[in-house]
């Protein structure tokens, strides 16, 4: 088996679990490539020099023959791993070095059994839809214009709201007068969109969620639309520029740029343990049914 490790940093409390992973890799003759900045962090901050076969700095030099990419961190790290894997079709394994995540859902105390299940082939592969951003000119995010969670338009100042004229397949939907607007995938339904009142969608549903951020009119609510629709946004306001975000990556643009969002032509493959389920993660992460009263 060949794998690639991706990460940024983690707390000292995760060190023993991380070293245990390499013990298991050695027992099963796993060849490991590692993201070079992560390798430098391990040597500099953890004082650990893991035995690896090679290094990579980004998407271009990632070995596309690896069986898995292990993302070490949280959901934010997982989203960064997506920008490395892109359309290579390599399954991503989310190892959580902190609190439970929706994508990085293998907790620290589950690592030994999780690795055993992976080596024995006791897992499933889920495919997750992404969204793609296209612009009328001066292409935003030229490196990678896709997002697994969401695309967001937001005002850049703290004063007045902005107006986002929204169309579905060129049919006018609404002009959102708000602080911003989120276009979320089912995977992103438990992220930013959820925090502004958006619904939770099961990951394999074929939809987008359009969720306004602090809308002026309280009757304006999130709406779920099919993901085979193309969403067009035209933004205007008192400011000269606005903020566009794909997951955790952001840039500014002006009102002359028209934004188009559609389903991407490839999917991200995610390894899921058979002992895990989306509904179980919901209960644990959102503490459904937990009574915290004394």
Least Cα distance to 281 among 109, 100, 115 occurs for 100
Tell whether 136 and 248 lie within a shared domain: yes
Helices (H), the chain: 15-27, 36-41, 75-85, 111-119, 192-195, 278-286
Task: With beta carbons less than 8 A apart as the criterion, state whether 94 and 106 touch.
Answer: yes
Is there a binding annotation on residue 184?
no
Tell me which of 97-106, 165-174, 266-275 is least confident: 97-106
What CATH number does residue 11 fall under?
3.40.50.10330
CA distance 133 to 146: 6
Is there a binding annotation on residue 140?
no
Tell whether 237 and 176 lie within a shared domain: yes
Tell whether 65 and 176 lie within a shared domain: no
Q: What is the pLDDT of residue 98?
A: 81
Is there a binding annotation on residue 245?
no
Tell whether 236 and 155 lie within a shared domain: yes
Active site residues: 75
Tell whether 191 and 146 lie within a shared domain: yes
pLDDT at 294 over 70: no
Tell whether 30 and 103 lie within a shared domain: yes
What CATH number does residue 221 fall under?
2.60.200.30
pLDDT, the chain, mean: 95
pLDDT at 240 over 90: no
**Angle made by CA atoms 273, 275, 278, in degrees to the nearest 5:** 80
Is there a binding annotation on residue 247?
no
Residue listed under structure tokens 């707390």 = 11
Q: Tell me whether residue 294 is in a domain.
A: no
pLDDT at 141 over 90: yes
Task: With beta carbons less than 8 A apart as the criterion, state whether 230 and 262 touch.
Answer: yes
Tell whether 139 and 208 lie within a shared domain: yes
Give me the helix-helix angle, 111-119 and 15-27, nearest 10°: 20
Full domain range(s) for residue 95: 2-122+274-285
Q: Tell me whether residue 168 is in a domain.
A: yes
Question: How many other CB atoms sit within 10 Å of the CB of residue 26?
Answer: 11
Query: Cα torsion for 75, 81, 82, 83, to the nearest 10°?
Result: 120
Mean pLDDT of 87-115: 93
Q: Tell me whether residue 290 is in a domain.
A: no
pLDDT at 123 over 80: yes
pLDDT at 29 over 70: yes
Tell whether 192 and 260 lie within a shared domain: yes
Mean pLDDT of 16-33: 96
Is there a binding annotation on residue 76?
yes
Is there a binding annotation on residue 179?
yes
Tell whether 80 and 101 lie within a shared domain: yes
Q: Tell me whether residue 13 is in a domain.
A: yes
Q: Tell me whether residue 293 is in a domain.
A: no
288 contact partners, CB below 8 Å, separation of at least 6: 282
Q: Tell me whether residue 237 is in a domain.
A: yes
Number of domains, the chain: 2
CA distance 264 to 49: 38
Q: What is the pLDDT of residue 287?
A: 87
Task: With beta carbons less than 8 A apart as the criterion, state whether 234 and 260 touch.
Answer: no
Q: Tell me whether residue 179 is in a domain.
A: yes
Tell whether 147 and 250 lie within a shared domain: yes
Tell whether 137 and 241 lie within a shared domain: yes
pLDDT at 218 over 90: no
- pTM to 2 decimal places: 0.94
Sign of CA dihedral 126, 127, 129, 134: positive
Confidence grade of residue 277 (pLDDT, cut at 50, 70, 90):
very high
Confidence grade of residue 132 (pLDDT, cut at 50, 70, 90):
very high
Phi first, then psi: give them for residue 127, nearest 5 degrees: -110, 130
Tell whether 20 and 94 lie within a shared domain: yes
Question: How many other CB atoms sit within 10 Å of the CB of residue 147?
Answer: 28
């Amino acid at each position: 088996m060949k794998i690639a490790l991706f990460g940024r940093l983690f707390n000292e409390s995760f060190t023993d679990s991380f070293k245990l992973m390499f013990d298991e890799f050695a027992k099963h003759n796993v060849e490991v490539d590692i993201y070079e900045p992560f390798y430098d962090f391990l040597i500099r901050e953890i004082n650990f020099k893991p035995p690896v076969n090679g290094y990579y700095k980004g998407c271009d030099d990632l070995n596309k023959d690896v069986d898995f990419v292990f993302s070490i961190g949280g959901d934010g790290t997982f989203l960064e791993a997506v920008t490395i894997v892109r359309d290579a079709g390599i399954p991503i394994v989310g190892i959580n070095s902190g609190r439970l995540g929706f994508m990085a859902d293998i907790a620290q105390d589950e690592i030994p059994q999780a690795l055993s299940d992976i080596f024995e082939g006791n897992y499933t592969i889920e495919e997750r839809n992404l969204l793609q951003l296209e612009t009328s000119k001066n292409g935003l995010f030229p490196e990678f214009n896709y997002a697994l969670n969401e695309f967001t338009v937001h005002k850049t100042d703290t004063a007045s709201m902005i107006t986002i004229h929204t169309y579905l397949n060129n049919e006018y939907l609404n002009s959102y007068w708000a602080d911003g607007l989120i276009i979320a995938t089912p995977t992103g339904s438990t992220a930013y969109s959820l925090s502004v009142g958006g619904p939770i969608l099961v990951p394999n549903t074929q939809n987008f969620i359009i969720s306004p951020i602090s809308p002026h009119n309280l009757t304006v609510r999130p709406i779920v639309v099919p993901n085979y629709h193309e969403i067009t946004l035209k933004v205007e306001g008192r400011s000269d520029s606005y903020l566009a975000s794909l997951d955790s990556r952001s840039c500014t643009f002006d009102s002359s740029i028209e934004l188009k969002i559609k389903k991407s032509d490839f999917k991200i493959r995610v390894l899921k343990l058979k002992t895990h389920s989306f509904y179980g993660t919901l209960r644990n992460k959102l503490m459904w049914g937990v009574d915290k009263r004394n």
